[in-house]
Amino acid sequence: MVGGVLTSPLEVVKTRLQGTYNKEGLANTQHRFGTRTVRALTHLHAEGGVRALYRGMVPHLVGVVPARALYFGTFSWSKRELGKQLELDPHGMLLNWLGGVAAGVVTITLTSPVWVVKTRLQLQVGNGKGSVAPGTGVRQYRSAWHCVTSMMRHEGPRAFFAGMSASYVGISESSIQFMLYEKFKSLIKQRRVRQCEEAWQLELQRRRRAHTAAAPFDHDADPELVQLSELARSAAASSIGAWETLGISSTAKLVASVLTYPHEVARTRLREERAKELYGGFVNCVRVVWRNEGLAGLYGGLAPHLLRVVPNAAIMFLTYEAVLSLFDPSSSATR
């Protein structure tokens, strides 16, 4: 939640750069990859002051904690149940992918209205006091509640589930992220086991050389070797360190985000008020953006997106591992 507040300006800029109605303002900021975000922040502040940088914050704060809890809870439960039913490797990529898909479907379906309202608030231009944004024909909203009531009155309940097709496609991002994270974590644990086993073998050879044939060496009676052997056996079950968690979670999120980013742009476009008129469905939306704006359009807002989600993912997974350690103290016994 704190991370969401601190990175809200980046979230607003990202959404605006993804949207349709930024051609006259924010589109003029699309220079080099690094300066584009800074220029967009400056333009947004000039347009609506500090409040403009925090548009959509209320629905974000309302939805982020339940969404995260729902996702991680469903992910853990589905991994456990699917692993039992399908007899899959608990550390395998297939089970992690299936768990990510299940968690994504449940979370997206139940929390979609919150994110649609947030997107609408972030996309509006001006100070939010007019009834219609000039040159767009799109309504402006005075608050999150005004957005909800206005959408219900003018567009009906289906509007709160706009962009669901793109959101479901976006499940691939979370699935790839979790698959990579679990794979990296498994590799780290395998390396620990290998290091402990190598240390055990080296120490065993040293002790054997130090003993004569008349006084044979019993490695089962040596306390240091017994301890090394126990470390090797428990290394695979132990939690990974904080720095390791930060490193692999950041890498996993970065790779997954870049590979699947176009669905983010399509989702934002489909949540706009006139989306059906302009784009139709998900596939046609991607086609239209590609034809009219090219690769730059499909990756609009990538820089602020990465600046926001990569650190957030690192903090989220660090918290996730800490909670797992609390519920399974044995996992941190060898840290």
CB–CB of 211/306 below 8 Å?
A: no
Give the Cα separation of 43 and 317 in Å (integer): 33
Q: What is the pLDDT of residue 240?
A: 76
Q: What is the pLDDT of residue 47?
A: 76
Q: What is the pLDDT of residue 111?
A: 94
Is it the case that residue 82 has pLDDT exceeding 60?
Answer: yes
Q: What is the pLDDT of residue 250?
A: 95
Is it the case that residue 31 has pLDDT exceeding 80?
Answer: no
Is it the case that residue 249 has pLDDT exceeding 80?
Answer: yes
Q: What is the pLDDT of residue 7?
A: 79
Geometric angle at alpha carbon 35, from 22 and 48, rounded to 5°: 45
Give the Cα separation of 273 and 26 in Å (integer): 19
Check residue 112 and give left, alpha or beta (phi > 0: left; psi -120 to 50: alpha): alpha
Least confident stretch, 94-98, 103-107, 236-240: 236-240
Q: What is the pLDDT of residue 223?
A: 64
Share above pLDDT 70 across residues of the chain, in percent, rounded to a whole number: 75
- Per-residue pLDDT band at 148 (split at 50, 70, 90): very high
pLDDT (tens digit, 9 = 90+) per residue, 317-329? 888 788 877 766 5
- Of residues 82 and 48, the one with the higher pLDDT is 82
Domains, the chain, ordered by start:
2-323 (1.50.40.10)
Is it the case that residue 143 has pLDDT exceeding 60?
Answer: yes
Is it the case that residue 23 has pLDDT exceeding 70?
Answer: no
pLDDT (tens digit, 9 = 90+) per residue, 254-307? 999 999 999 999 999 999 887 888 888 899 999 999 999 899 889 988 999 999
What's the mean pLDDT when you consider all of the chain? Answer: 80
Neighbours of 47 (CB within 10 A): 15
- Per-residue pLDDT band at 53 (split at 50, 70, 90): confident
